[in-house]
Structure 1
Amino acid sequence: MADLEAVLADVSYLMAMEKSKSTPAARASKKIILPDPSVRSVMHKHLEKMGEVNFDKIFSQKIGYLLYKDFVENVCEDPVPQLKFYEEIKAYEKIENKEERRKVARDIYDNFIMKELLSNSHAYNEESVAYVQKHLTKNEVPTDLFEPYIEEIFAHLRGDLFNRYVESDKYTRFCQWKNLELNIQLTMNDFSVHRIIGRGGFGEVYGCRKADTGKMYAMKCLDKKRIKMKQGETLALNERIMLSLVSTGIDCPFIVCMTYAFHTPDKLCFILDLMNGGDLHYHLSQHGVFNEQEMRFYAAEVILGLEHMHRRYIVYRDLKPANILLDEHGHVRISDLGLACDFSKKKPHASVGTHGYMAPEVLSKGTAYDSSADWFSFGCMLYKLLKGHSPFRQHKTRDKHEIDRMTLTMDGSSLACYPSLFCGTYFTLAPASSTA
């Protein structure tokens, strides 16, 4: 009977996945209704108080970006080529094939730089032009080829143009969406919950489908009784805060982000990005060690995820293969932020993490540390995926005290290649992000 229930749960889950891929909104059973436009004045005051009425904050949000683009394209009387230039640059940065990137780079240069140079209308810094021309002359097309132009584009978009946007109906629509977001009250009835796809110390993770959009998510349900019994209230609250901090902006594709959060009488629920590809620890145990090419690809994406956290003054503190999940396209995401910590005001000194991956400064009680601890864990993780075992687990020891002692002393022949791996990791692997 249990086997039959498992089969039915799998079929239900797979059917929901298929539906979500084919026009999910058209199949939705609920519709989103925006509040009256009159909420603009109240929301504007609230957003001003929170420091949210500025170009950078609004442009980094998906709905803010789309409405700003709508304003530029359909409301502004004068053309704004800078936004199109920005979109072309972002599309270029995502191209994996070098030959295709070379062609697109040339098209961008011809359409947005050379054309303006010939008409004496190029309003950008001469250093930016020289940087692009130098690389194209050498037939080089790094992913950051047009990076010098980004800040200059933003300087134009955040000026008088942004002030006009704030006075427009498009900003009113933005306020309506923010009001809806602020007052949204989700319950279990807003989701179709399917089979369990993971388990943790405080609860389970389910595959689910949101009723009003038809989109699939992972629902992490933490049992309140279990949290209280294990005295995990601080951990649960911390994970909620950390997820809120990293789940902002449009450039965080390598972290499992949170879209919604709510609670029921007996559960705390986080609605997260759905990951169907398993984790790197599972793939290591099933298929053996990774080769260098595979490792460069995954490492580059993990680097970008860590940098996204570190820019927000968050140290992750639990980097290991089991916490690196894969999506259905084979890209990785960092998951489980329960041990992450904000170090913007005060550096942490707690000894937390997984033995064999914790940096010496984390193990040293009372020693303050920052995001550098994650790069130590990153080197340990790469070693594990390339060699099949931790650099500090000699003779397959499972003694935590022995592992910690080796970490603090860097003792043992297994560390022969570790220092060069760790020290060179960031600089040798970071350019590989162009292939990620």
Structure 2
Amino acid sequence: MAPEVLAKGVAYDSSADWFSFGCMIYKLLKGHSPFRQHKTKDKHEIDKMTMSMNIELPETMSNEMRTVLEGLLQRDVDKRLGCMGRLAEEVKEHPYFKEIDWKQVYLLKLTPPLIPPRGEVNAADAFDIGNFDEDDTKGIKLTEADQELYKNFPIVISERWQQEITESIFDTVNLETDRIEQKRRAKFKQNNIYDDEKTSDLILQGQLKKNTGTFGFSWQIRYTKLYPNRLELHYEKGDKDPEVYTMERIEHIDSKECKGQKTITIHLKGGNEPRLMLSPQDEVSWIEWKKALYDTLVASQQHLTVSEKASKIYGADVSSATSTNVNSNQQSSAGNHHNSSSSGGNISTVKKNNVAAAALQD
């Protein structure tokens, strides 16, 4: 920063930018700012050097380079290059820039001497660049005249910039999301709803929003569990029995976007509820849930087809055994709100699997 910016209670204008321009040229040439000669990282020490230290320019620099840096880095604003009445023309006419065609610069026709690789951000983090001390900036007020200088500046948000921003905030957002998710899981666990159920046949579980349809698109939170033969929707407070939808009731599944929300629509056979509309928290969950639901439905339909074939060939009442197993599971869910695969129909399930296997071999 220019000395007048660092000085307390001293007014300054765009003349400070010419000092910053000199610092930038110096850093491009030497790899560090002109006031970090001793590799100090203490901000207050650097500010002190800016206010008092004389800049040491290497003898290897050309005379034109030395004079342009000395002119731009003048502490006295009235003697600073670009601040003596003719503004930018003073800088443009300096011998150091004599080979520059400023008209070509204005038209963006010059080829830069260095073109960085695409997809690579060779710069400081965006948050580090914009992380100014409030004590340095709180007294700055932009006037209408200041804003007028930037009226024709184009605003470009490139993919590289977006990628840098994404990488910068990724960890922060993830930590906050994980914290919220852990809090929700703890709440569900208190109500005996959430359970890893590592020993059960649980396929997928998580928090989804269900469209109640009370007032158009009205959503309520449900903790959802998907099993090979059913879908369970648990109430957040755990004060009601879960809603259970068997795979036999599901006709087909589709997914789409409704009013800005990714949704999964489950079309049901018969009953008072013709369809069930769910909305996951994000697009990743949306993709995961719709695939899991579709795959589970297909597997269930194939299983029922084999069971029906076995029933016709061998006369085994496989569908009855399947219903017994599902009903047993539903009763277990309604009893304690803690759902896992019921063992009540294990004997029937073994019989069903044996008959189904025989049907396939046939």
TM-score (norm 1): 0.18
Higher relative contact order (CA 8 A, sep 6+): 1
Higher helix share: 1
User: Rg larger in 1 or in 2?
Assistant: 2
